[in-house]
Amino acid sequence: MNEQLITLTAPAKLTLSLRVTGIRPDGFHLIDAEMVTLELADELVIDPTGDGLEISGKFAGELGINDQVLAKNLVSRALKLAGRTAHVTVTKNIPSGGGLGGGSADAAAILRWAGFTDLVAAAKLGADISFCIVGGRARVSGIGEIVKPLEVAQRQITLVVPPFGVSTPAVYKAFDELTDSCRQKLIHSGVNDLEPAAIKVEPQLETWKKKIFDATGVEPTLAGSGSTWWLDGRFENLADQLPDATVITTQLR
């Protein structure tokens, strides 16, 4: 048994609300968001004497793992940013492509282990990583590097992850392509400015929003750029009513 192995927890993040407040000359979007850490988490095992990356677990298959994917994985990039080497085994418990920050959470776990605290640099690696380093509940602004902790209020959350992912870059591109008048009409009508653009990119999202409402009587909220929809509270038998989705009941960490 290798006594040098280190086990880390990488909790998922949930974006409860999201405003897009502008765009910088370098193309990064400015946001004003409320994010929380969930009990749902990936697990990382680090061997500081080794090198390389392995990904396994329930949702590993969705990543299409190969050498090219592993090289671009946020864990590999986080190790490079921190100037560290290690062999990392990731067990994926967070659905991939659902907007729950699984990759960002894994990268943040690596940066915490490495003692890397530069939130500005971390945000350039991935917009959610700075929040995932801090965790808890926070108001997040700038391009994600400004994280102001808020008091955590315990609550249960039900996540509904449809059987498809949504590309975050594609959603922001669609948001940028909305005309000014159309953007002003569509955004600020709910708690997530990206919802109209996300539905434009992936029309199935609207179908799933209706499915969830029909099953619960509650209108769900899109998590970030999707594809996850979330609801406050626990909904018994929802997984049976939506067999094609991944339904997870969790709580704030």
**Shared-domain flag, residues 97 and 140:** yes
Residue 1 lies in a domain: no
Q: 111 and 16, same structural domain?
A: yes
Work out the number of other CB atoms within 10 angstroms of the CB of residue 244. 9
Q: Is residue 107 part of a domain?
A: yes
Structural domain includes residue 71: yes
Residues 112 and 193 in one domain: no
State whether 13 and 98 are in the same domain: yes
What's 134's domain CATH number?
A: 3.30.230.10
- Structure confidence at residue 181 (pLDDT): 57
Residue 240: which domain range? 156-251
Exactly one of 13, 92, 209, 211 is catalytic; name it. 13
Low-confidence ranges of the chain (pLDDT < 50): 1, 65-71
Does residue 32 belong to any structural domain of this protein?
yes
Please check whether residues 221 and 245 belong to one and the same domain: yes
In this structure, the answer to whether residues 30 and 101 fall within a common structural domain is yes
Domain presence at residue 219? yes
Instruction: Judge if 146 and 166 occupy the same domain.
Output: no
Mark whether 118 and 225 lie in a shared domain. no
Which CATH number is 166's domain given? 3.30.70.890
What pLDDT, on the 0 to 100 scale, is given for residue 239? 95
184/182 Cα distance (integer angstroms): 5
| H or E element at residue 211 | helix 204-216
In a domain, 244, yes or no: yes
Residue that terminates a domain, selected from 118, 150, 182 = 150
Structure tokens at 52: 């390389």
Check residue 138 and give its pLDDT. Answer: 97
- The answer to whether residue 47 sits within a structural domain is yes
Give the list of residues 6+ apart from residue 218 with CB closer than 8 angstroms, or none: 212, 231, 232
pTM score of the predicted model: 0.89
pLDDT at 66: 44
Are 15 and 64 members of one domain?
yes
- Residue of 106, 128, 193, 209 with catalytic role: 128
Pair 84, 164 in one domain: no
Same-domain check for residues 111 and 162: no
- Among residues 121, 150, 179, which one ends one of the domains? 150
**Domain count for the chain:** 2
pLDDT confidence of residue 68? 44
13 is catalytic: yes
Looking at 150, 179, 207, which one is the last position of a domain? Answer: 150
Same domain, 125 and 19: yes
The per-residue pLDDT for range 201-239, each reduced to its tens digit, is 999 999 999 999 999 999 999 999 989 999 999 998 999
The verdict on whether 128 is a catalytic residue reads yes
Q: Find residue 140's DSSP bridge partners.
A: 33, 147
Residue 198 lies in a domain: yes
